[in-house]
Structure formats: structure tokens, C-alpha cells
Amino acid sequence: MRPPHRPTFRAATAVALAAGLLALAACAAPGTPAGWASYTVAPGDHGATIGRTSGAPAPRSGWISPGPRRRAYQLTLNATARYVLTEPTQPEDQFDWNKLPGFSDCGDFDLARNGAMFGWRWRVDTTPMRLELVPYANNDGVHLYPEEALVSLSAADLDAAQPLTYAVGIDGDVYRFSIRGTIRGRTVAATATLPRACPETAPTVGKWYAGLYFGGTSVAPSTVHAYVLEP
């Protein structure tokens, strides 16, 4: 089994900032269903704060050891996911993948080195515009994702604010991804796999559990909310 990677300065700083942000978060975002929690990315930020309605469970966050081999949750993206970068850090940042909640792997603290999650982005260059979702993994710092979207959501789909169930798990030498649910009467059922960098490492190795993240390189240009239920 690989020994855990020592956190890089970036990873260690992110851990400290995340702990502070989560401690400060209390109020749920507008529109959060009863019994659910919310993620909020403020303009100028990458990471999200967590808010909770009365009695709602908090989504997993931080370092957990041993770490479960699978993460599954219901999450709703709404109209706030239709963002436009007017001052991108790099010219192509509108096409960068933002991240849904996921986990690190291989004993690593840093998802950007080793981990699995879903990527999402709002495409302003298509007619009509659309939100794309892909399986996304980092393999010793190499970003892996397919060329084609696993699921696409329209502006009307986002306006409907209906949840989908996202799951990603470790199965030997691959990550298995699935997105399932119903939006505006349309059944969504999609699966995919991506390779794992450390098949020799136990799937229950300690993991860092991350939340909603904006970027890529650029920070959020406007407030982004998502609603989450992770028992």
C-alpha cells in the first residue's frame, strides 16, 4: 500500500480554509428543501460553505479514515449554475470543469492529485446553452474525463430545480460513476468508469471528502447554490 502523501502547501491551506468555512456556515441557501443542506459558492471564491435546514444531515467533509469506498448523494443544481466568466484568469476558463462533491484516493489529501468526482460546466458557446456533467478523476495529477458529456441539462432543466442522485465508488482498478433521476419527466440514467492510479491501495484508505467547488482556474463570477442530501 502506498504511504499517504504529505499535504502540499496548497492542500494544507485548503484544508485549513475549508475547516474555517464549514465552521462559519449555518444558514441554508434560499430555496433549500426542508431536511436538506446547501452549498454556496460566493463571488470571488472557489470553495463552498455549507448551510443546513433544521435537522438536516451535513454532507461528508474533511478527512475520514478509514474512508468508505463509495460516495452517493442527491444534489440539485439550479439556475445559479448558469454562470458567465467576464474576466477569466485564462482565456478558455469558461470551458474548465467545476467539481461536484467527491473524495481523494491513494492515501492522498489532495483531490487534485488523486481523487474522483463529477465535473460540471455551463456552455455558453452552444445553441441552446447547456450544462454538461462528466465523470472526472485525477490520476497522479493527470486530469481524466471523457470528451463527450455523460449528462446534459438545459436552462429549463436547471429552472426546474429537481435533484439527481450521483454516485462514485472504487471497484478495484477503476472508479464507477452513475447519475440517475428524473427531470421534467425525463429519465436520467447514465454510468461510466475511469481508471484508478493505485489499484494496489485498499479502497477503504483514508480520504478527504470535498464539497462543491468552482474552477478550474477562475473564481466564481456570481453566487452559485446547490442543494444536497447525503445521509
Give residue 135's pLDDT band: very low, low, confident or very high (50, 70, 90): very high
Q: What is the pLDDT of residues 68-126, one digit of tens each?
A: 999 999 999 999 999 999 999 999 999 999 999 999 999 999 999 999 999 999 999 99
pTM, rounded to two decimals: 0.89
Give the pLDDT confidence score for residue 4 in this predicted structure.
Answer: 39
Mean pLDDT of 35-44: 98
C-alpha distances (whole Å) from 164 to each of 20, 44, 111 are 29, 27, 23
**What residue ranges do the domains of the chain occupy?**
61-210
Q: Which CATH architecture has domain 61-210?
A: Sandwich (2.60)
